């Protein structure tokens, strides 16, 4: 199956797909339409939602008996096809969502895989603990976060989430439950984290949380006039910051190429917050239901929709950038939830992208090559008439997970709107961008990918890593029971 097929599958195609589901004795009443988070690809799967490990084992057995494959899905927040398994069994793990053990003294938590980041921080914050790594939405599950080894706005400081997972239980395709940590089944530990759900299913994950002394962060926002300034800000502030994230106006060109805003945040030291008991309470962290106290958040995406074209987004970006410049740097205190989960302020914002949805492209480039490569990428998107609508810039560090996207470098996450008219042009553009990334010794990230090819994947991961991963797959899942659209597209 070619990568483009994933992006080009339309809703209209998928109703036809119901009748094409391979003949099996799987009951038809579990058939559901499943979308990538970005809604640019859809498929039909037999979806099951177990609540226990025994229930999971039964589904593995069902797959064997019916000649089906099993895909694993957490919150379904991967932009592409990592959590999709068209025409086969897809296990949605969100009902396995109990916190199994919590020690407020040590900050060690053990969770079922369907526990969301929202559940987790809401459970631990009043005891003075925050997840060491969080994604831009709190709807992700701990199983999905481990499955793709997610990173946060502090990735260069603390690495990906896998660096904080101390152990996990993995249900293998055989039905055997195996415990893994850094000393015990270490190969599997380092491959299943980031192993996109094809080596086994996490049934419990143990993680060390981060102590905090306030529900607030000290946040500073300022604008940067171009890409060079963006890079120098990051390099100068890395040591003194806990979090930094950049927003880039991908429409700006010439001497303003790469202009945007940077947001830096630091934890408050012990004693700096006079009312920590209040600020760490849930009601203090609650994201408001209305914007400006008037407009319900649930309908904001409708107001965004008319601007989701090149002209509209150019105008919005220019206004946002100029607003950021007005009055210079801004400093203030913000609740953790408000700083981290900005995207959750506007529920369903992806619907503003329209029927075709969006894809994200997030290359990671070593720091020596990043500025030139990102400049080339931004320019090429503009030349092709496909500037991306949301661009987020982060700093990373290397880690020791087999299928890692981490490196001593930068990433730039770019959202492309997909329409019937631009679909194939966007896919061709991503192939041109792949060349720039590979030439700069860069990497890609399965959580965001929809368009990579097998050859590109092998080139960036390297032959050693790919072969080692395939060997582990053969050892722990010789019959290829665990699969996904992404696995078939890039590995099988
Ligand atoms: C608005 C938004 C912001 C985001 N921000 C960030 C960010 O800041 N940083 C970042 O790194 N990513 C980010 N992402 C991507 C997202 O965090 C990842 O795709 C994450 O893996 C999604 O978690 P999920 O629970 O939704 O998992 P899913 O998308 O459902 O699944 C992810 C992968 O994990 C596997 N999996 C799921 N459960 C299990 C299990 N129990 N055992 C084994 N494998 C399993 C699946 O097969 C799949 O391959 C963002 C996504 C969105 C939509």
Domain boundaries, the chain: 3-92+472-490, 99-211, 216-449
Query: What's the gap in Å between 76 CA and the centre of ligand 1?
Result: 7
Please give the distance, rounded to the nearest whole angstrom, from the Cα atom of residue 172 to the centre of ligand 1: 20
**Answer CATH for 99-211 from 3.30.465.10, 3.30.230.70, 3.30.1240.10, 3.30.1960.10:** 3.30.465.10
Q: By C-alpha distance, which of 413, 407, 375, 366 is closest to 394?
A: 413
Position 8 scores a pLDDT of 40
Distance 401 CA to ligand 1 centre (A): 16
Separation of CA 252 and ligand 1 centre (Å)? 31
Q: Which fold has domain 3-92+472-490?
A: 3.30.43
CA of 429 to the centre of ligand 1 (A): 25
Q: Are the beta carbons of 491 and 465 closer than 8 angstroms?
A: no
Listed as ranges, residues in the chain with pLDDT below 50 are 1-6, 8-21, 23
Ligand 1 contacts (CB < 6 A) are 37, 72-78, 82-83, 93, 113, 135-137, 140-141, 143-145, 147-148, 150-152, 196-197, 201-202, 343, 447, 484
Question: How do strand 89-92 and strand 70-73 relate by DSSP bridges?
Answer: parallel
Q: What residues pair up with 33 in beta bridges, in sequence order? A: 44
- Predicted pLDDT at 9: 42
CA of 118 to the centre of ligand 1 (A): 14
Give, using CA atoms, the residue closest to atom 39 of ligand 1.
143
- Whole-Å CA distances, 296 to 302, 305, 306, 344: 11, 16, 18, 13
- Which atom number of ligand 1 is nearest to the Cα of residue 486? 49
Nearest protein CA to atom 51 of ligand 1, as residue: 77
Residue 295 CB burial class (10 angstroms; 0-12, 13-18, ≥19): exposed
- 46 CA to centre of own chain: 24
Cα–ligand 1 centroid distance for 85 (angstroms): 15
The predicted pLDDT at position 303 comes to 82
Residue 435 CA, ligand 1 centroid: distance in Å: 26
Of the residues 60, 180, 447, 449, which should be mutated to test ligand 1's pocket, given the most ligand atoms within 8 Å of the CB?
447
pLDDT at 307: 87
Q: In ligand 1, which atom is closest to the CA atom of 72?
A: 47
Amino acid 20: pLDDT: 45
Nearest residue by C-alpha to atom 6 in ligand 1? 135
Q: What is the pLDDT of residue 125?
A: 98
pLDDT (tens digit per residue) in 83-93: 999 999 999 99
CA 77 to ligand 1: nearest atom: 26
Return the structure tokens found at 123. 């459970």
Q: Whose CA is nearest to atom 17 of ligand 1?
A: 135
| Ranges assigned E (strand) in 326-468 | 330-335, 358-361, 364-366, 390-395, 409-417
**For residue 54, what are the contacts with CB-CB under 8 A and spacing of at least 6?**
none
User: Which CATH class, in words, describes the domain spanning 216-449?
Assistant: alpha beta
């Amino acid at each position: 199956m070619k990568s483009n097929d994933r992006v080009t599958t339309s809703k209209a195609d998928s109703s036809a797909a119901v009748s094409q589901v391979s003949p099996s004795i799987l009951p038809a009443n579990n058939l559901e339409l499943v979308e990538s988070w970005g809604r640019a690809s859809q498929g039909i799967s037999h979806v099951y939602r177990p609540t226990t490990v025994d229930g999971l084992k039964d589904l593995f057995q069902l797959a064997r008996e019916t000649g089906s494959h099993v895909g694993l899905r957490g919150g379904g927040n991967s932009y592409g096809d990592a959590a999709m398994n068209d025409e086969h069994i897809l296990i949605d793990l969100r009902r396995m969502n109990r916190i199994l053990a919590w020690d407020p003294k040590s900050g060690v938590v053990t969770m079922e895989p369907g526990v969301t980041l929202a559940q987790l921080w809401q459970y631990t914050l009043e005891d003075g603990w925050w997840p060491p790594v969080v994604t831009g939405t709190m709807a992700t599950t701990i199983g999905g976060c481990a499955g793709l080894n997610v990173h946060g706005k502090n990735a260069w400081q603390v690495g990906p989430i896998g660096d904080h997972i101390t152990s996990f239980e993995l249900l293998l395709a055989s039905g055997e439950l195996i415990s893994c940590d850094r000393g015990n089944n270490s190969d599997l530990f380092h491959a299943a984290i980031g192993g996109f759900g094809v080596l086994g299913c996490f049934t419990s994950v143990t993680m060390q949380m981060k102590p905090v002394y306030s529900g607030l962060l000290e946040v500073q926002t300022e604008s940067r006039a171009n890409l060079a300034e963006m890079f120098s800000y990051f390099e100068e502030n890395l040591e003194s910051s806990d979090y930094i994230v950049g927003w880039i106006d991908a429409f700006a060109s010439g001497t303003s190429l790469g202009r945007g805003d940077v947001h830096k945040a630091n934890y408050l030291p012990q004693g700096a917050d006079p009312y920590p008991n209040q600020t760490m309470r849930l009601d203090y962290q609650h994201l408001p239901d209305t914007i400006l106290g008037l407009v319900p958040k649930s309908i904001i995406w409708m107001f965004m929709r008319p601007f989701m074209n090149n002209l509209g987004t150019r105008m919005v970006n220019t206004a946002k950038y100029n607003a950021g410049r007005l009055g210079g740097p801004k400093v203030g205190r913000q609740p953790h939830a408000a700083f981290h989960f900005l995207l959750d302020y506007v529920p369903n914002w992806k619907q503003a992208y329209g029927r075709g949805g969006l894809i994200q492209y997030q290359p990671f480039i070593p720091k020596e090559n990043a500025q030139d490569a990102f400049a080339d990428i931004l320019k090429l998107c503009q030349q092709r008439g496909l500037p991306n609508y949301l661009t987020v810039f982060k700093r990373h560090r290397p880690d020791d997970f087999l299928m890692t996207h981490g490196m001593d470098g930068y990433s730039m996450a770019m959202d492309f709107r997909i329409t019937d008219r631009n679909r194939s042009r966007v896919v061709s553009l991503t192939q041109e961008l792949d060349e720039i990334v590979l030439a700069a010794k860069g990497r890609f990230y399965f959580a965001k990918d929809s368009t990579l090819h097998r050859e590109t994947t092998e080139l960036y991961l390297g032959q050693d890593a790919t072969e080692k991963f395939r060997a582990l797959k053969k050892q722990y899942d010789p019959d290829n029971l665990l699969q996904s659209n992404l696995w078939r597209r890039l590995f099988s």
